[in-house]
Structure 1
Amino acid sequence: MSIDITVLGEIKVRAGEVKVQLGDRRQRLCLAILAHDLHVVEYSRLMRCLWHENELPVDPQDQIQGYVRGLRTALRATTPGGDKLIRTVRGVGYELTVAPEQVDRHRFARLKAQAEACEDKDPGTAARLAERALTQWRHATGLRGGNPLADSRLEAITSSLQQEHRSVTLLRIRAALRCGRHRQLLPDLARLSTDEYGAEDADLTGLHMLALVRAGRSHDALAVYERHQTAIDELLYGSKPTRELQVLKEKIMRGDESLTPDDKDYADYGRDEPVEPPTTRPAPGGVSFSNHQTGEHAKSFQAYEMNVHGEFEDE
C-alpha cells in the first residue's frame, strides 16, 4: 500500500485512501521531523524540536520512545508492516525508512533542484517545474506553520523552508518573465507585493515593476517603486532602494526600450501543464518575505525577513 506524508501542509500520513491517526501535536511533530530529515535523527535533535529547555519532561527520551510506539501502532493499523517504517538506531535515535518521493518536502526539493538546473538554458521548463514545486506547499500549518521568532524550537527548520520557498517563488517569476508571460504573472505579483513584508522585498519589487512595464503599465511600475521606497523607509528610517532598483526606475522613466523585448526575443515557455492548485495560498496563509538593503549606500546589510502564519493545533 502506498504511503504519502505531508509536512509542508497539515502534518498527516495517508495509506492509500486512508488517513492515519497520528495522535497529539508532539507525536505528529515527532513524525514530521523524521520525515523532514529522512536520515537517522538523534534524540537530542528531537528533544530540541519538541520542547523548550524549560519544559523538558523528567525523562524526554522515554517520552520520545512513547511517541514512536504510538506512531508505529497507528501505521501498523492502516499499513501491513507499517510499524517497521520507523527504524530504531539503539542509543542514537530513529530513522523513517520511506522513499523521498513519499514526502512532500522532498518532492519539493527535487523539483526545486530540477528548476534551478535548467533556468538558464530552458526558462520555460524551469518556470513550470517551479510552479509544480510550489503546489507542494498547501495548508498554512505543518513544519512551516507558526512564527519561528515565537517558537524557537523549530526555527532552524522553518527558516530554511521559508528561504527555499522564497527562492523557488522568485525563480518561477524570473523564468516566466523570460518567456514573455508578464500578463499571466501580474495577479500573483500584485498579491505577493501587498502581503506583509512583500512591498519591502527588493527582488520581488523589481520583477513586479518589469512585468508591469512589459504589460504597458509604466505608471503602475513607478507606483510599485514608490510603495517599496515608503515601506523600507518605515521599516528602517533612512533606508533607500537598492542601486539596481534605482537604475530600473530611471530606465522606466526614460522609456528604455531594452525593458520591452520583441516577442521573438522571448524564450519558449512550452505547453501549459495542468497543475493542481494549493489548498490555500502560500501567503498570507503561508510565506511572506522581504529582501531589503539599508544604510547610506544601501550596504549596511541585506536580510531576508520571513513571516509564516498558522499554528499547530492540539487535537
Structure 2
Amino acid sequence: MRAFTYTRAKDATSAIKLLAENPNAKFLAGGTNLLDLMKEDVERPNALIDISELDLSEIKPIINGANQGGISLGGLGKNTDSANHLLVRQHYPLLSQAILAGASGQIRNMATNGGNLLQRTRCPYFYEVAMPCNKREPGTGCGAREGINRMHAIFGWSEHCVAVYPSDMAVALTALDATVIVRSANGQQRSIPIADFYRLPGNEPEKDTNLMHGELITAIELPKNRFAEQSYYLKVRDRASYAFALVSVAAALEIEGNTIKQARIAMGGVAHKPWRALKAEQILVGKEATEATFKRAANAEMADAKPLTHNAFKVELGNRSIVLALQMAVNGGKA
C-alpha cells in the first residue's frame, strides 16, 4: 500500500472541500472495497478523508419533495441497518433481500449505502496490475475480452471493457427507481435518477458513474410504490455464500386480479451497470401473470445479449432467471 495522508472530517462541508481540492483524494467510509483496492495497488489515493462520523446515516420517511411518501436512506447508513429497518422490510422487501444476498454479515456491518453504490468491478484483470485493463489504466487494453471472461458482460459492453458491476443493492434500487442525492463543494445539491447514475463503458470505462469529483452521496431516496407484496430478488452464483452474481434479477410487480399493472425488472452480473430490462417490462404490462407471459418477456429481453467466448451460458441462465424471479414475485417470494 502506498503512503497517504489521513484526515477525519468534522462535517460534510469541510469533507467535500478537502476532496474537491485534491484530484487524488478519496472519501473513506466503511472502506470494505477501497482498502482492498489500495492493498492490491489498484487504487492509489494520496489522501483519505474519513467521513464515517458524519451525521448522514438516518433512515426516514420522505415528507416533502418529488419522492414524498417514500423513504430516504442516509448515504452513510450501514447496509445491515438498511436491510433490517422496519420501513425497508415492510415497504421495500426487494431491497432488503438484495442487501442480504450480498457479501457477508461482517462486511454488511461495515459497508455504507453510498459506498455500496460506488464499489468497483471484481473483474480479475482489473485487480491484477500486471494485466492490461482500460478501467485501471486507460489505453492499455482489455485483457478480459480475449481472456477468461466467464463472469463478464453480455449487455452493453464495448471493445474497451467487458467488466460487470458487482452490487446487489444497486440492482434492487434500479428496479425501484431510486434517486441518488449528492452534494458538491459549492453547497449545491442535485438528484440523480439511478438509471442515469451509472455508465456503460463506451470509450471511457474508467468512469463507473456520473458522480463528479468533489461530490458526496448524502442519501438515496425511494419513491412510494405498490410492489411490496409481489417482489423478489434472485441471485444465481457459484456458491451459496459470499459470491458475486453470475446473474441476478430484481423483479417487482403490481397485479390486479391476474393482470399486471406495473412491472420493474433489473439484472445484475450482466453489464457494466445494473441492467434495466425495459423490453421485458413493456411486454408484461397489461398481460396476465402467467408462465407463458413471463417466458415471452424474458425471451424478448435476452434476444439482445451479446455473449463473449466463455459466457454464452448466461443467455439461457438470464432467460430462466427472469422467469423464475417473476414467478417468485407473484407468489410473494414463496416457491
TM-score (norm 1): 0.23
Determine which structure has the larger strand proportion and give its number: 2
- The structure, 1 or 2, with the larger RCO (C-alpha pairs under 8 Å, 6+ apart) is 1
Select the structure of larger CA radius of gyration: 1
